[in-house]
Amino acid sequence: SQSFIMTNRQMSSQFGIEDYSFVNASPAAGADPDQASSQLLQKIRDVPKAVLQDYTVAIETQKNYLRQQQLFFSGIAVILLVISLFHIMNSMNYSILFHRREYGIIRAMGITDIGFYGMILRTGFLYGILADLFIFLIYNIVFRKIMDYYMAHVVQFLHFTAGVPNGIMAALMVLNILIAIIAVSIPARKIVKSNIIDEIER
């Protein structure tokens, strides 16, 4: 059922009810809810019009539902992260190896292995930065609105203003850059170990 919270003045003017009170109590951690309810009933049995409503079971049911929901969405997030990881690794590996002839020519022109690694790692770093920018825009333009709508109309939170914490977002962006750098360093190592002539003749 729906609940309404009114001031004493509103209750008096609208319904003629004076001097009413409402007490909300939560049992201590580890306490027996049934025993607590029994003790409260004993305390209020002589109080006129006093009613005890025990929402302990309903609250626990709701918590279980939210935990299951969180586990479900966390599982989806992990699956998407793994898929994205393999996609990034495969795409960057293909991109570097596809241009191995050009890299072979650059190596033949005298670039050192350290210089070559630096060039490739800068490419991975730039890729990670662009991916972070894309994630940031998609999150704020699309996902944030979907999350707000879901929390307001499905979960029915009245005031949902929280988002992904800045620390988690920053860690995700740093992780994304590291993944991109690792993704380009693997094929770069293969190119460095290969023969320059063989790379040019590909």
Question: What is the pTM assigned to this prediction?
Answer: 0.55
What lies within 8 Å, CB to CB, of 54 at 6+ separation is 33, 37
- Judge contact between 138 and 106, C-beta under 8 A: no
Query: Tens digits of per-residue pLDDT, 141-195?
Result: 777 777 767 666 655 554 455 556 677 778 888 888 888 888 888 888 888 888 7
User: What b/e string do you get for 19-37 counting C-beta neighbours within 10 Å, with b at 16 or more?
Assistant: eeeeeeeebeeeeeeeebe
Q: pLDDT value at position 1?
A: 45
pLDDT means per 10 residues, the chain with 202 residues, are: 68 78 74 82 80 79 80 76 77 81 84 87 88 81 73 56 68 85 86 78 66
Q: 183: how many CB neighbours lie within 10 A of its CB? A: 23
Q: Please tell me whether residue 181 adopts helix, strand or coil conformation.
A: helix
Q: Are 202 and 101 in contact (CB under 8 A)?
A: yes
